[in-house]
A and B are shown apart, each in its own frame.
Chain A
Amino acid sequence: MPVVNVRMSSLSASFPSIQLNEIIEKLPYVGLDIEGIDEDSGIIKVEFNPNRPDYSSEKGILRALKGLLEREMGLPIIKCIENTDYVIGISDTVTDIRPVICGVVAKRPDPLNEYEISQLISMQEDLHNGIGRKRKKSSIGLHDLDPILFPLSYTTVSKQFSFIPLGEHIESTVGDILNSFEVGKEYGYLVNKGPKYPMLIDAQKNVLSFPPIINGNLTKISFNTKNLMVEVTSTSDKSAQDIISILSFELHDMGFSLFSVRVNSPFDNQTKTTNLNPLKLMASVDYVNKVLGLDLSCEDFIKSLEKSRCSGKIMGDIVECYIPRYRTDVFHPVDIAEEVAIGYGIYRFNTSSPSLSMSANKNTNSLIFNSIREVLIGLGFIEIINTNIISRKILNDFFIQGQNNDLVSIANSKNFDSEVLRNSVIPSMMMTLSKNIHEKYPQKLFEIGKTFQIENSRLKEEWSLGVVIAHNDTDYTEIKSTLESLIKYCFNKSIKTPKVNFKHYLEGHSAKILYEENDVGDLGEISPQAIENFKLRTLVTVFQINLDLLMGMLNLKKLKYL
């Protein structure tokens, strides 16, 4: 989750009558996680959830906190002055690339200070990664307004088109930027379908930005910047509007006056202008009370909404709720319920116990597996657990010759030893033996776990039991007698063990396990080559059983009591 720095000094300044620790204690109750508090620098690091991109700045967080602490309630006030000069024309060539653009202009007598610039840049970063989906959906350009001559044109250019990119002194072509700039290499794939590339240029053909890659250098923001132009290009109208709203509220709180930007779109012949009006949603007090288990009056309901920086108008049983435009996560009455809960204060909720009594039980597998465990423990075995994901090397070391065509592999692992899903529990159990060579022998282990393979174009996931015995005198007799004891003591059944040869068993010392003529597993003495591959210095015997198969045949899908 992204992190924002909140300064203790701003908290104290915003809530002069409340103790600092009391303010900090309330931060989690607006949905923030305190990651760390640095007393020396007076900074509280907080994490915010992806549903609240408006928390990507200190001002956004203060806005919510002021509601909960009843310093400022209801919809935050914002004003956007209608303006007909700031116009962007969209060329229809961008349709297939990145069709949406919108913007806002912000003006102030004082230039931006260092802290404000860093806040805007870190917000831009968080918004890019969050609702911008790493610029794929939306990307933001922040510009100095003064060098721009309106109207702007959002259009496309060829790969040979050149301009001076942000932070550079000489011109580069679009092709150069895509091939040799870091941002070009990272985000180029979003527009690099050729032969046309999106470009935002002004009336004098100067470049504002090459979205979503890089801005032009002309409109670079500095400590002298007093007037700003913000644009968002996107594949989704809603996402672009969401981002403009969040940034508009931030700039408004920084003391800027906002002016609307008109966008003339060719496809629907529509003119759109910056829209910061609150969203409207209907919800009934009854429904919200039912969801929360509360009994709020209409007045309490409205007050709770206002503490969440929303507002409401009572219309009979229904409340017309208004939500500030920067909230991107409120679109269903259940979302209103959450706003009410947070405004009411989660700390004020009394827990209640539901009176639904049900007769409950563990599932059959859990019960049968526990019976198997009990018998094996009685026979002196210790239970181990290994991971389902293992390396090919372990499998190859065990099965000696790759018989692993039906293995289920993982497409994208970060760990070199996580490559495939195991098709047998035994190889990882051999690893366990190998890790315990300093421990006392005999070592007698078992594991109950899932195994995976592809069979007839279907992925098969089955429960499997593995049993291993390691010491200098273990042999086929010992492992077979363990197997027969388990089957007899657990199910009062017997099995047959016809001879079979596998590379990982000593030739002539291994067998299939047949239950009523069905192959449910195998057993034997592990081949010296496999033992050596696991760097063991003692003998190993094993058996493994497909539990799903065996339990199916024993008709154990449901446990019987009588």
Chain B
Amino acid sequence: MSIDDNSNKTDTFSNDFTMDSTNIPLHPIEKNILSILLHSGGLWTAENQLIEKSKLSIDQIRRGVEWLKFKNLIAIKDSSDFEISLKQSNIINNDFVLPERKLINCVKKGKKTITDILKSDEFDSNNKEVFASLKFCKQNSWIDIKNNSVVLLPNSENLSEEEKLIKKLLKSKSLKHSSLNESEIASFELLRNRPGVLDIKKNRNKEYAISDFGVSVFNKMIHGVDLERKLTAEHLISGKWRDLKFSQIDVEAPLPLLSYGKKNPLVDFIDEVKEILVGMGFSEIEGDLVQTSFWNFDALFIPQDHSARDMQDTFYLKPSQSIVSPLPDENIVKSVSKIHQQNWHYEWDVLESKSYVLRTHTTPVTIQYLAKEKPESDKVFLIGRVFRNEKASFKHLVEFHQVEGIFTSKEANLRQLMGIQTEFYNKLGIKKIKFWPTFFPYTEPSLQSMVYNDKFDKWIELFGMGMFRPEVTLPLGVKNPVLAWGGGFERLAMLRFDLNDIRELYSNNLTWLKGVPKCLL
């Protein structure tokens, strides 16, 4: 139905339940402004946009909005902002160096004592600047002062928060205050009090939107009828809808996205991989994150003086008199200890095997399953958390996930292990695979796999694999050969989510969490 078809029918009704919109006279300037606001798709319109679209002068606009506001036809929002930029005069060679950085550079050139720094070309005996710089350097933990000379700390290689903001300003020339995040605001507050750094310009700005009443007045004026903005339940139940006309809305205007609940992307991806493995006939098992050294190392034929067991790489729990750590069946302990002494030629220490560690791999869970079930043939897997006592970096996490699977049967052999691995990779969409010999203390033969990644156009090392050594399986009473493979799961996750920094997976940044699409295209 078009608006013109039955334009006269609405007249009588609309006055009953809306404010009287018939007697409001509008000036052409007001009409012009209202018309622009009505077609802005429900969004706020800034003063400069209004000027541009209306072709009116700034004075005319300001007068017009005053009148409209008085008549309750529009809403006004103050959206003034500060425009921040660096003092042009202090930008030298496209760089802006704070005095504290100047001081660091000066020390790097070998001027270590305060007197030398003071006399340097950079500071030119400016007492005040040197002492201020020292203060800032100390605040940033960049330096230590010992015997009147300056010692650089490792932190001096890092940018201070203030420098980060300056770098951003250098890049984008100017920033709006409203676009700064919390730490940038803090840096801004610090820098604005320092002379010669920032230029701050206030941009006064107001934004306008048409009110519901304004819509109805405007429609009445244009079409000679009251138009309803929205269909309401009341219109429906009372039957009034039969006599109403509805205004046209902007159906193309962009709208904000809804918030939604979702699974964590890493958990979701882990689940997808679990489905693949279940589809290949592997059943899922689970086990504790805290393990005795016995299961994490000894049972895996890793000698007690092996470097992998160093405090350097493994998290040990603080030994406490009050925690009892259980070892398995005495026979298993005995035969493990015997095998160690025979092959590695050292005194095996039962106390050492009782110490608790955060598992460094998922294999202790797998072999405890084998020790318990002693299967003739079986296929199981797990994906779980493991721990390494390393400094966290873009490449390494202290805690991450490992995926591991085993296959045992009377006929199990190395070629089958390569076959299982190839099938798994194929299901993940990996087509080019290479196998290289490698070493793990608890498998023999051992291989590592390299896969070709099209996106990065290079070979990437993925999972390791091998057949459990007889020294591992025999003490547990497992007779048939066991094929095992596994490795870090986050490596796959970084490929899947296109990440360069592994820490992002655990940053719980809500924008990232919401932004990762459910389906990879």
Contacts and interface: CB of A to CB of B under 8 A. Distances in A.
B2 interface: no
B93 interface: no
A31 B437 contact: yes
A452 B271 contact: no
Given A294-B415, A458-B323, A358 B378 contact: yes
A436 B317 contact: no
B438 A31 contact: yes
B507 A338 contact: no
Nearest to A463: B286
Pick from A331, A413, A414, A450 the residue with the most CB of B within 10 Å. A414
Contact of A349 (B182, B377, B415, B514): B415
Contacts of B418: 349, 351-352
A239 B445 contact: no
A378 B414 CA distance: 46
Nearest to B342: A331
A366 interface: yes
Given A349-B415, A349-B435, A356-B407, A136 B282 contact: no
Chain B interface category by residue count: 35 or more
Interface string B374-385: 000111000001
A292 B414 contact: yes
A357 interface: yes
B513 interface: yes
Contacts of A411: 311, 315-319
Interface string A376-397: 1111111111111100000000
Contacts of B318: 408-411
Contact of A461 (B267, B290, B509): B290
Contacts of A347: 434-435
Given A50-B307, A366-B274, A337 B290 contact: no
Given A292-B413, A341-B414, A358-B379, A389 B508 contact: no
Contacts of A180: none
Interface string A209-237: 00000000000000000000000000111
Contacts of A436: 508-510
Interface of A (DSSP majority class):
loop
Interface stretch (B17-25, B130-138, B213-221, B257-265): B257-265
A110 B150 CA distance: 52
A241 to B, nearest CB: 11
Pick from B279, B286, B439, B444 the residue with the most CB of A within 10 Å. B444
A50 B439 contact: yes
A370 interface: yes
A373 interface: yes
B224 interface: no
B399 interface: yes
Interface stretch (B5-13, B67-75, B106-114, B464-472): B464-472
A520 interface: no
B156 interface: no
Contacts of B316: 410-412
A387 B284 contact: no
A19 to B, nearest CB: 19
B322 A383 contact: no
A133 B510 contact: no
B391 interface: yes
A293 B414 contact: yes
Contacts of A412: 311, 315-316, 389
B392 interface: yes
Given A291-B413, A293-B414, A380-B259, A410 B439 contact: no
B437 A389 contact: no
B398 interface: yes
A238 interface: yes
B8 to A, nearest CB: 47
B181 interface: yes
Contact of A338 (B320, B444, B514): B444
Given A411-B319, A450-B289, A361 B398 contact: no
A361 B283 CA distance: 5
Given A291-B414, A360-B283, A435-B508, A414 B271 contact: no
B477 interface: no
A14 interface: no
A352 B413 CA distance: 9
A236 B411 CA distance: 38
A534 to B, nearest CB: 14
B281 interface: yes
B278 interface: yes
Contact of A356 (B379, B389, B391): B379
Nearest to B505: A385
Nearest to A341: B445
Contact of A293 (B320, B389, B413, B421): B413
B246 interface: no
A551 interface: no
A412 B436 CA distance: 35
Interface in A338-373: 338, 341-342, 346-347, 349-354, 356-363, 365-366, 370, 373
B422 interface: yes
A502 interface: no
A387 B307 contact: no
Contacts of A307: none
24 contacts: A29-B436, A51-B441, A133-B305, A239-B345, A291-B413, A338-B444, A338-B445, A349-B414, A349-B418, A353-B423, A356-B281, A358-B379, A361-B284, A379-B261, A383-B262, A383-B264, A387-B399, A388-B289, A412-B316, A414-B390, A437-B182, A452-B290, A454-B322, A458-B324
Contact of A413 (B278, B281, B315, B509): B315
Contact of B508 (A338, A410, A432): A432
B432 to A, nearest CB: 13
A408 B278 CA distance: 35
Contact of A370 (B271, B324, B407): B271
Contact of A357 (B281, B317, B323, B325): B281
Contacts of B481: 291
B286 A365 contact: yes
Interface of A: 28-31, 33, 49-52, 129-130, 133-134, 136-137, 235-239, 290-294, 329, 331-332, 334-335, 337-338, 341-342, 346-347, 349-354, 356-363, 365-366, 370, 373, 376-389, 408-415, 418, 421, 432, 435-440, 442-444, 450, 452, 454, 457-459, 461
A444 B311 CA distance: 39
A358 B415 contact: no
A409 B507 CA distance: 23
A418 B398 contact: yes
Nearest to B258: A380
Contacts of A236: 345-346
Contacts of B283: 358, 360-363
Nearest to B483: A354
Nearest to B514: A382
Contacts of B285: 363
B411 to A, nearest CB: 7
A439 B511 contact: yes
Nearest to B325: A459
B266 interface: yes
B261 to A, nearest CB: 4
Contacts of B280: 360
B490 to A, nearest CB: 12
B416 A352 contact: yes
A360 B278 contact: yes
B506 A362 contact: no
Contacts of A413: 315, 389
B439 A292 contact: no
Nearest to A450: B289
A401 B12 CA distance: 70
A420 to B, nearest CB: 9
A387 B289 contact: no
A396 to B, nearest CB: 18
A385 B513 CA distance: 11
Contacts of A458: 323-324
B416 A353 contact: yes
